[in-house]
Amino acid sequence: QVRLQESGPGLVKPSETLSLTCSISGGFIKSSDYYWAWIRQPPRRGLEWIGSISFDGRTYQNWSLKSRFSFSVDTSKNQFSLRLNSVTAADTAVYFCARMIFGVPKAFNWFDSWGQGMLVSVSS
């Protein structure tokens, strides 16, 4: 059974860059059946898909979140990562990584495995 685990700083100062990594165990990132996703949940709000990346680096982002996010993948470490530039208090949220079903029935589908999530606070 695949497991995902987020890691990174729990506290980031405003205007700095947030970097999070998701480590995959029990499965391999190199699969054409999946994209690897980031989702966040701000306090007292719903879940928000940030974007997804394939094992070979193709990315799709939530256009409504603008383009402060970047995504990368390291197949040698079975990990993928998220970077967010110029963070503000509005970026305070629980960040989840997840595995996204790709290809059928739509190009991008549901999330069948999730990390535990980690709270990232933006504060000076």
Partner 1 sequence: EVVMTQFPATLSVSPGERATLSCTASQSINANLAWYQVRSGQPPRLLIYSKSTRATGIPPRFSGSGSGTDFTLTITSLQSEDFAVYFCQQFDTLPVTFGQGTRLEIK
Residues that bind partner 1 (CB under 8 A): 45-49, 60, 62-64, 96, 98, 101, 105-117
Dihedral (Cα; 84, 41, 23, 57), 10-degree rounding: -50
Nearer to partner 1, 15 or 116 (CB): 116
Residue pair 79/115 in contact by the 8 Å Cβ criterion:
no
Q: Token pair of 10, please?
A: 């729990």
Min. distance of Cβ 116 from partner 1 in angstroms? 5
Residue pair 27/41 in contact by the 8 Å Cβ criterion:
no
Min. distance of Cβ 43 from partner 1 in angstroms? 13
Q: Which residue has the tokens 């949220």?
A: 93
Nearer to partner 1, 92 or 113 (CB): 113
Nearer to partner 1, 90 or 110 (CB): 110
d(CA 122, CA 124): 7
Min. distance of Cβ 13 from partner 1 in angstroms? 28
Nearer to partner 1, 41 or 92 (CB): 41
51 sits in which H/E element: strand 48-53
Min. distance of Cβ 16 from partner 1 in angstroms? 26
SS3 for 11?
Answer: strand
